[in-house]
Amino acid sequence: MDTTWIWVAFNVFVLGMLALDLGVFHRHAHAVSVKEATWWSVAWIGLALVFNAGIYLYWEQLWPASTYTNSEAALAFLTGYLIEKSLSIDNVFVFVLIFGSFAVPAAYQHRVLFWGVLGALVLRGVMIAAGAALLAQFHWIIWIFGGFLIYTGIRMVTAGVHEADPTQHSVVKLLRRIFPVTEGYEGQKFFVTQRGVLMATPLLAVLLVVEVSDVIFAVDSIPAIFAVTKDPFIVYTSNVFAILGLRSLYFVMAGAMGSVRYLKPALAFILTFVGIKMLFPDATYYLLGDKLHIPVEWSLGVIVLTLVVAVLASWLVNRRDAARSAQA
């Protein structure tokens, strides 16, 4: 059965939603409020859950050659989506830093993130296709992926906080060699013509840094999803839905960065756990002679429990600190 039309239909749907987002709801530049961002977050999560329900109902009909049952495919998608969604929270911290360093007006931030997401979708698709092909041909690469995730998780906890200056990023320096850059922002434009000369604006530099940061994060997140499933369609669609909600997630969380103080350790634990899960079958084969697998249900439970504990612990500690401050 030719499944090309499924890929085409899904990508047409995504492009249509993005066109509706930018062309209708955000046609005019404005600062996105927390309320508006929350409704968009609910909408994107709702679409992901509807898509997940569609997988549960129709997977075996649409993908008869797949080894997954309907429930297995739906569970793999949901687990992958939660992994990508939780790891994308780390992108939010970087976006805050980038926009702050470039002093990007709030009204223009949505446009940067929109085009950043569009570029990320293309780059993720290429990286997922490459990752799937590499894993099919060279199984030992899974050890590199798993080891890298474990290393990244440990590094997130042990490394200190470094306030990088995106204005000194090599991408920005390269941009200045290619295009003259205007002294300030020119509305929400990436290019302007001044005195007959095509010039880039600082907003283009911000977009390039956002794109580079997403590639860096994809190096972590794509191996993580391959630990859950190696089905290209599930890997791609779970990534896409997580990325589509990234912009609204930024505006929701940007004002609450300091309140969820245990979010970073939670993400570090999730990365380490997923890396161990990736290596676990081969490790048990070499040690015990049998390939043991951590069930997808367990992975989903660990991820959800970790995030809930991080939020709850942050809330309790913040409440305690507020009570102490009130008594002082």
Instruction: Report, as an integer, the average pLDDT of 246-264.
Output: 72
At residue 177 the predicted structure's pLDDT band, cuts being 50, 70 and 90, is: confident
Least confident span in 27-31, 66-70, 257-261, 304-308: 27-31
Which pLDDT value is given to residue 266?
83
Enumerate residues 6+ apart whose C-beta is below 8 A from 156: 264, 265, 267, 268, 271
Which pLDDT value is given to residue 201?
83
Rounded to whole angstroms, the Cα distance separating 106 from 219 reads 29
* Closest listed residue to residue 312, CA positions, set 272, 266, 252: 266
At residue 55 the predicted structure's pLDDT band, cuts being 50, 70 and 90, is: very high
The yes-or-no verdict on residue 233 having pLDDT over 60 is yes
Which pLDDT value is given to residue 200?
84
Q: Which amino acid, one-letter code, is at 31? A: A
At residue 166 the predicted structure's pLDDT band, cuts being 50, 70 and 90, is: very low
User: What's the predicted TM-score (pTM) here?
Assistant: 0.69
Show the DSSP H helices in 3-63 as ranges.
Answer: 4-20, 34-62
Which pLDDT value is given to residue 181?
78
